[in-house]
Structure 1
Amino acid sequence: MHTRIVATLGPKSTDYEKMRDMVEHGVRIFRLNFSHAGAEAFVPAVKIIRQLEEDLGIPLTAMGDLCGPKIRIGEVTGSPLQMNQGETVVLGLPPFREQAGEHVFISLDMPELLQGLEVGMPVSLSDGMLNFTVTKVRKVDQLFEMRALNRGMLTSNKGIAFPGKFHPMPALTEKDRKDVREGIGIGLDAFALSFVQNGRDVDDLIDEMQKYGKRLPIISKLERKNALDDLDAILERSDAVMVARGDLGLECPLAELPIIQKKIIRAARHAQKASIVATQMLLSMVKNPGPTRAEATDVANAIMDGADCVMLSEETAIGDYPVEAVKFINGVAEHAEAYFLERIQGPYAPKKESNPAKYIAYSACLLADTLNSNCLVCHSASGATARLISSRRPAKPVYALSPTESVLRTLNFFFGLRPRKVDPAIARHMDRAEQFIKSAPFIKTGDSVIITSGQPTPGQPLVCDLDPCHPVLSTNEIKVYYK
């Protein structure tokens, strides 16, 4: 299986046997959701993940998903209330409640979010179940009238969104900073950053981690429309991006979301960064043993779009069928990947650019297809070589070798990679790769294997973007090896 599966842990799945079953059916990344708990609550899950690594001999990744700024309304008098289409409500800061008059008052105790709100701007509540448009500014940046665009229930403390509006709030909250510190302390391998709006948000998380001597991989969650306007800067600073379709579907016209998903995945691959598609992949399996036909098609389309990972949320965290959901995605991937690889007709060629490492990676994939090789093996001290190979979307499996566990766990995010640890006592990277091939039982005598590596060369004092202790080595060596 080339596509990676991310499974969210929760009360229905934080169990050794269930987690083992999920790993055996393709899960390589476990998501720990800080929206509902702190780091201390995840200690048992991390222990199980490390135990599974040892028992199965497979690198596994523990990803902490930071909560980000929770934007919720306050108490609504008489909640729950039935809203009718065309009805007028008042939105404003809590001290203005009495000025609502006969209209329902919706309070928001975040003045910065109301700054710049103007007539005609959209406002959504309850994950888009209730939609409004601003019809009158009663008091600039403080009090507004809105008209309901549809019928629905208005309830206290629900989430509120302002599609397309820039929020002068950092993605990293004080709770997130605490969770980063404590998450590093319990041994998490990566962090997902919620509500990223620009590259500066990612820099903020990098700076926070560096206070504790770490630079763990960052998955930027694309939930804001204005994040798409700064996508190149976000990709430059991130290690992966998540197409978080729940909030993004509120920020952007729903009819455009499928194309936005495709564009994000394509941009991530061109930048040699991983992409994750998330939200409601198999939502019906929270309560049912099988998905709908539309969900099956949605998962397949994400894979055929070229996503590195697909993510399960409620399905595995609180669903009644967490293992079955993973098994189903695995089955869809088996068929969708075969069609995807057939359709692209060979590895992706690089754009015409001066980038020898990309062309070497592309050539390695072409050789593997031409010789019908058993697999590709790439040694990657920093992960750069493996990411280049993955971005070409090779049909053959890729064994990504590294002596560093943190690098191996990072490579779990990337299409087609099978990370394996090698002995650092062997000096040359090519020698490590050949030793791996000799000892691999799935590579038979007479099989060809394509080896790539990034070996140090004079005048290359670069620093790894993931781990400052390891150099970044461009892919500069390729070999056809017969066992």
Structure 2
Amino acid sequence: MTTKIIATLGPASLSRERIKALALAGARIFRLNFSHSVAADFEPVVRIIRDVESELGKPLTALGDLCGPKTRIGEIKNAPRQVGKGETLLLGLPEEDPGEDERAFVPLDVPGLLAGLQPGMPVNLSDGMLQFDVTRTLKQDRLYEMVAHNAGVLSSRKGIAFPGKHHALPALTAKDIKDLHEGLDIGLDAVAISFVQNAGDIRHIKDEIKRHDTWVPVVAKLERQNAVDNLEEILAVTDVVMVARGDLGTECPISELPIIQKRIIRACRHAQKPAIVATQMLLSMVKNPIPTRAESTDVANAILDGADCVMLSEETAVGDFPVEAVAYMREISDNAVKYYLERIQGPYAPKKEKNPAKYLAYSACILADNAESKALVSHSLAGTTARLISSRRPELPIYALTLDPRVIHHMNFVWGVQPRLVDKTDETHMKRAERFVAESPDFAPGDSVVITAGQPTPGQTTRFTNQIKLYHK
């Protein structure tokens, strides 16, 4: 299991039998979408995930996806209605509806989104299918006139985006905070925060998690141009990044989106933070038993870009073929990874920098390749060394040993990593890793593995990985 698969759960996939089938097909992370649900709805689902995890003996991660600030318009009169190219419409707060005006009125009950809107600024509706420019301010921050660039259908409750505009809205709403704490109570293993704009949004949710007296990894969903512009500061504090192409594609020009995706994934690998690619990956499989050629190529290209995870949304939540979608994604991934490893021809060398941990991880990969080892085995309290090794993209599987179940579920996001929970003993980390190899059925007598571990030495002030060992079973 090299590239990880995330399956969104919904009406088509909430049964125990279906969740087990998805896990057997290759899903390791299950996304629970809080946009239309609350934690109480997901409590039995998390119990099922834990039950299937125990039965299969494979770590399965329950990911709670918080909905973030509301960015949808309200009810449109006489909707759906056709909008013509060059037609003018009104956009404003619901109370500003000029009922006598013949132009269509688009209500938006979020004052913060309208604040600072000026003539010339773009506005996108319906996932970018309708594009407008603001032409006139009728009431500052309350009511505007806009003109349509293209014809299309205007419907109620559709998403709205203001490409390039900074929003003062916090990424974490009151509903999100409530859902977060209740989600942690029911056993979520990770949480995703929507519409991130900067590092402060990540710090905010991490503070809330700390208030709950626990720790789970945070996934930063990049859906706004501001987040792309602030990528480095976000990478410094987040645990995982999601390239959420649906909303991001309404904020950024569609023609630039493929390159933005590549840049984000590359930056994530250099920062040793897992990258997820999401949205419309096998969308035709909502109704069809096989994907299109373009979708198959899209999934493969995300993996060739270096993505750690690929995610299914509607395909597994409401689709007619959820298990088949995961199986196809697994098959596409296996073929893409094989070519990816052929193309890079060995582990990535670190850039020239003073970074002993990164060079140690690279050295372990080189040694394992030269010794024709069966695997790399990393003993790590927080999984940092496993992420460092993964970022080098070795051909061999990476076994990440840890004492912490929370880290096990975090490692499910990381490319090439097979997380394993080990018992706490009085042994050193190296001895514990050797015992794991000796007892594991994955290794035959005579197989070699390269082990990385850390044991503090007298002059060491902080704990870090400081050992590499070639071990023969």
> What is the TM-score of this pair, normalised by structure 2?
0.98
Q: Does 1:448 align with 2:448?
A: yes
Aligned AA for 1:52? V
Give the Cα–Cα distance (whole angstroms) in 1 for the partners of residues 286 and 457 of structure 2: 53
Aligned equivalents of 2:75, 2:125: Cα separation in 1? 14
Deviation at 1:138, TM superposition (A): 2.1
Equivalent position of 1:466 in the other structure: none
Q: Relative to structure 1, is the Cα distance of residues 58 and 460 closer, same or farther in structure 2, using a 3 angstrom cutoff? A: farther
Shift of 1:100: 7.0
CA distance in 2, matches of 1:23, 1:234: 31
* Alignment-derived partner of residue 131 in structure 1: 131
The corresponding residue for 1:465 is: none
Equivalent in the alignment of 2:154: 154
Deviation at 1:426, TM superposition (A): 4.1
Q: Is the 8 A contact 2:364 2:450 kept in 1?
A: yes
Match of 1:28 in 2: 28
Report the CA distance shift for 1:178/1:257 in structure 2 as closer, same or farther (over 3 A). Answer: same
Q: What amino acid does structure 2 have at the position aligned with 1:475?
A: T
Contact 2:192 2:219 survives alignment (8 Å) = yes
Deviation at 1:247, TM superposition (A): 0.3
The whole-number CA distance in structure 2 between the counterparts of 1:99 and 1:115 is 23
Give runs of aligned pairs for residues 458-473 of structure 1, distance below 5 A: 458=458, 473=463
Partner of 2:468: 478
* Matches of 2:195 and 2:202, distance apart in 1: 10
Residue 98 of structure 2 aligns to a residue in which SS?
A: helix
> What are the equivalent positions in structure 2 for 1:356-435 lying under 5 Å apart?
356-435=356-435
Change (3 A) 1:479 1:100: farther
Distance 1:84 1:459, change over 3 A: farther
Does the 8 Å contact 2:134/2:145 carry over to 1? yes
SS in 1 for 2:97: helix
- Contact 2:377–2:399 (Cα < 8 Å) also in 1: yes
**Relative to structure 2, which stretch is displaced further, 189-198 or 141-150?**
141-150
> Displacement of 1:15 after TM fit?
1.9
In the alignment of these two chains, the number of paired residues is 473
Shift of residue 439 of structure 1?
A: 1.1
SS at match of 2:280: coil
Name the structure 1 match of 2:112. 112
1:470 alignment counterpart: none
Shift of 1:109: 1.9
Structure 2 residues not aligned, in runs of 5+: none
Q: Write out aligned runs for 1:72-471 (5 A).
A: 72-98=72-98, 101-458=101-458
Deviations 1:192-232 (A, max 9, x none): 00000000111110111111112210000000001011111
For the residue of structure 1 that corresponds to 2:420, the secondary structure is: strand
Q: C-alpha separation between the residues in 2 aligned to 1:119 and 1:110?
A: 19
User: What is the one-letter code of the residue matched to 1:82?
Assistant: Q
Please name the residue that 1:38 is paired with. Answer: 38
The Cα of 1:25 is off from its aligned counterpart by 2.4
More divergent stretch after superposition (155-164 vs 59-68):
155-164
Is the Cα contact below 8 Å between 1:124 and 1:162 reproduced in 2?
yes
Change (3 A) 1:100 1:167: farther
| SS of residue matched to 1:98 | coil
The RMSD of aligned alpha carbons is 1.3
- The code of the aligned residue for 2:303 comes to I
Cα offset, 1:313, TM superposition: 0.6
Report what 2:9 is aligned to. 9
Q: Which runs of 5+ in 1 are unaligned?
A: 463-472
* Structure 1 contact 9–31 (Cα < 8 Å) conserved: yes
User: 3-state SS of the aligned residue for 1:354?
Assistant: coil
Cα distance in 2, alignment partners of residues 253 and 113 from structure 1: 20
Shift of 1:460: 5.1
The answer to whether the Cα contact below 8 Å between 1:361 and 1:475 also exists between their aligned partners in 2 is no
Contact 2:90/2:145 (<8 A) preserved: yes
Does the 8 A contact of 2:316 with 2:325 survive in 1?
yes
The one-letter amino acid of 2:82's match is Q
What is the letter of the counterpart of residue 111 of structure 2? P
CA shift for structure 1 position 29: 0.7
**Alpha-carbon deviations, 1:75-132, whole Å to 9, x = none?**
2222221100000111122232127723211121222211221121110111112111
CA distance in 1, matches of 2:102, 2:152: 19
Contact 2:400 2:420 in 1 (8 A): yes
Deviation at 1:150? 1.0
In 1: Cα distance, 2:80 partner to 2:68 partner: 27
2:464 partner amino acid: S
* Compared CA separation, residues 182 and 297, structure 1 to 2 (3 A): same
Task: State the Cα distance separating 1:401 from its structure 2 match.
Answer: 0.5
The 8 Å contact of residues 70 and 110 in structure 2, kept in 1 or not, is answered as: no
Distance 2:299 2:183 in 1: 30
Alignment partners' CA distance in 1, 2:26 and 2:342: 22
Residues 356-382 of structure 1: CA distance to partner in whole angstroms, max 9, x if unpaired? Answer: 111010011111111111111110111
Query: How far is 1:290 from its partner?
Result: 0.4
Cα distance, 1:459 vs structure 2: 5.8
The Cα of 1:163 is off from its aligned counterpart by 1.0
Q: Which moved more, 1:23-32 or 1:175-184?
A: 23-32
Mapped to 1, the partners of 2:109 and 2:27 lie a distance apart of: 40
Alpha carbons of 1:100 and 1:145: their partners in 2 closer, same or farther (altered >3 Å)?
Answer: farther
1:135 positional shift: 1.2
Matches within 5 A, 1:43-54: 43-54=43-54
1:391-418 per-residue CA deviation (whole Å, 9 max, x = no partner) reads 1111100111111111111111000000
Q: Alpha-carbon deviations, 1:407-454, whole Å to 9, x = none?
A: 111111000000011121142111111111111222112111111112
Aligned-pair CA distance for 1:74:
2.1
The 8 Å contact of residues 309 and 415 in structure 2, kept in 1 or not, is answered as: yes
Contact 2:192 2:220 in 1 (8 A): yes
The aligned counterpart of 2:63 is 63
